[in-house]
Amino acid sequence: MIKQLVGLLAVLAVAALFVALLPLMAPTELGPVTRHYVEQGLVENRGANLVTSIVVNYRGFDTLGEVTVLFLSVSGAGFVLRRREGLVPEPQRRSSELVQTASRVLFAPIVLFGAYIFVHGHLTPGGGFQGGAVIASAVLLLLLADRDRLLPHGFLSVIESFSGFGYVVTGFVGLAATGSFLANRGVIDLGTWNRLFSAGVIPVIYVLIGLKVGSELATLLDTMMHADQAGEGHR
């Protein structure tokens, strides 16, 4: 009890620190770097969505790292929950016919919707991550409708691997063409502002990210749902 009290006091003191820092959080004019992003973003990348330009091009290296984090967490969760040999998961109860059919019917439109989101990532809000999450929700639907359903792991894994590798390869293309990893300018034609085929390699990368995120999140859901339940107990 005392510990919890001390904990609350500590949180309050941290609050005081934040309050002391409040003046820093007031609105300020754009800084020099971000001013460049805003003013030159269209000129340099042709992508209508400036956030996408930053995420995929100016700070594309971060995003590569971000994709890696996701990949890593999913692999890690899978590694932690990996099935021990000889353990077969218990069969689960199935949902009603209606739900199963509906989920199968809905699967394709939802995936399509996800794809729509990441294909338009450079034009409208949303992009690879959001689209990927939508695709994962389609998979979730399938999994919920029929818990014994085993996802086509091979297929997912192939998509996961090759989209990730494709991302790196795109970076190499930039390196080869301009001498800078993940470069956009000078790789393919930037196209016209506010069109689907514009913004150079940004849509390409976002599609790859969308595929990768979608397959990864699907794997994650599958891992969590079908996790090995048998503990080793107290060894």
Partner 1 sequence: MVSPILLVAVPLGAAFLLPMADRLGRPVARGLHLLTLLFAGGLALRWLMAFQAGAPAELITTGGWPPPIGISLRFGVEEAVLVLLAAAVAFVAALHLARREQASDVRGLVIQLLLVTGSFGLIMTRDLFNVFVFLEISSIATYAIVAFGREREGLEAGFKYMVVGSAASIFVLLGIALLYKATGTLNLDDMLNRIHDVPPAVAPLLGGVLLLLATGFLVETKMWPFNGPAIDLYDGVEPGVMALVVGTVVNAVLWTFWKVMLLAGDAWVSTVVMTVGMVTFVVSNFLAIRQGRVRRMLGYSSSAQLGLLVFLLPLVRDGHVPLLAAALLLVNHTLAKAALLWLAGLHGGETMEDWAGAFRGRVALGVTLLTSVVAITGLPPFPGFWGKWEVVASLARSPFAWWILPLLLGSLFEFVYYFGWLRAMRPDEDEGAAPIVSGAPFGILEAVAPLLMAGALLAYGLWWTAFMLPPDAVALLGLGLLGLVLLIVPGRVPRARAGLALVAMLVTAWLVLPLKVELLLGTFEGLFGAIVLLGGILVALAGLGTGNERQGHWGLLLVLVASSLWILRAETLLAFFAAWEIMTWSSWLLVRQGRRASRAAWLYILFGAGGGLAVLGGFAVAMGAGVDWIRDLGHLSGLPALAAFSLLAAGFLAKAAAWGLHVWAPGAYSESPDTFSPFLSGVVSKLPVFALMTVAVRAGGEVLGARMLPVEPLHAVAWIGGLTALGMTLLAVFQEDMKRLLAYSSVGQVAYAIVGFAILSPLGWSAALYQVVNHFLFKTMLFLAVAGVIYRTGARRFSQLGGLITRMPVSFVFVLVGIIAVAGVPPLSGFAAKWLLYQALMEKGWFFLTVVMMFASVVAFPYLFRLIHSIFLGQLRDDLRETREAPWPLLAAQFVLLGLIMALSVFPGAFLASVDRVIAATFGGTGLRYEQWLVTGPLGYLSGPGIMAMVMVLFVVLFLFLFFAGPRPVKVKQLDIVYAGEVPPPPEQVHVAYDMYRHYKRAWEPALRSWVVRFWNFVGETADGIAETGRKFYTGNGQTYLLYTLLFLAILGLAWASAAPAGASPAGPGERAVATGACDPGTGPEAAAEPIERDPGAGGTFPAAATLCPVGARAAE
Partner 2 sequence: MEIRELVGALVTLGGAAFLFLGALGIVRMPDLYNRMQAGTKATTLGNILTLAGLAIYEPAWLPKLLLVVLFVLMTNPVSSHALARAAHRGRVPLSDISVEDALAEAYGETAEPAKEARP
Partner 3 sequence: MNLLSLHALAVGTAIVLILVGLAGALVRRNLLKIVLGFSIADSGVNLLIVTLGHIPGRTAPIIDDPKLLKDAGSLVVDASKVVDPLPQALVLTAIVIGVGVTALMLAFVVRLYAQGKSLDIRDFGRLKW
Q: At what angle are helices 153-178 and 60-80 packed, to 10 degrees? A: 150
User: Is there binding between residue 105 and partner 2 (CB under 8 A)?
Assistant: yes
Consecutive H or E run containing 40: helix 32-45
Query: Chain centroid to CA 182: how far?
Result: 18
List b or e across 17-37, with b for residues whose CB sees 16 or more CB atoms inside 10 angstroms: eeeeeeeeeeeeeeeeeeeeb
CB of 30 to partner 3, least distance (A): 5
For Cα atoms 24, 26, 27, give the angle at the middle one, nearest 5 degrees. Answer: 125
176's contact among partner 3, partner 2, partner 1, none, with CB below 5 to 8 A by partner kind, is none
CB of 65 to partner 1, least distance (A): 4
Closer residue to partner 2 (CB): 140 or 201: 140
Sequence letter at residue 10? A
Closer residue to partner 3 (CB): 84 or 93: 84
- The mark string for 174-213 relative to partner 2 (x by CB under 8 A, - otherwise) is ----------------------------------------
Closer residue to partner 3 (CB): 72 or 112: 72
- The mark string for 108-147 relative to partner 2 (x by CB under 8 A, - otherwise) is -x--------------------------------------
CB of 145 to partner 2, least distance (A): 8
User: Is there binding between residue 85 and partner 3 (CB under 8 A)?
Assistant: no
The closest of 188, 183, 194 to 123, measured between CA atoms, is: 194
CB of 26 to partner 1, least distance (A): 4
**CB atoms near residue 191 (< 10 Å):** 16
CB of 119 to partner 3, least distance (A): 16
Closer residue to partner 3 (CB): 105 or 234: 234
CA distances from 2 to 13, 209, 216 (A): 16, 48, 43
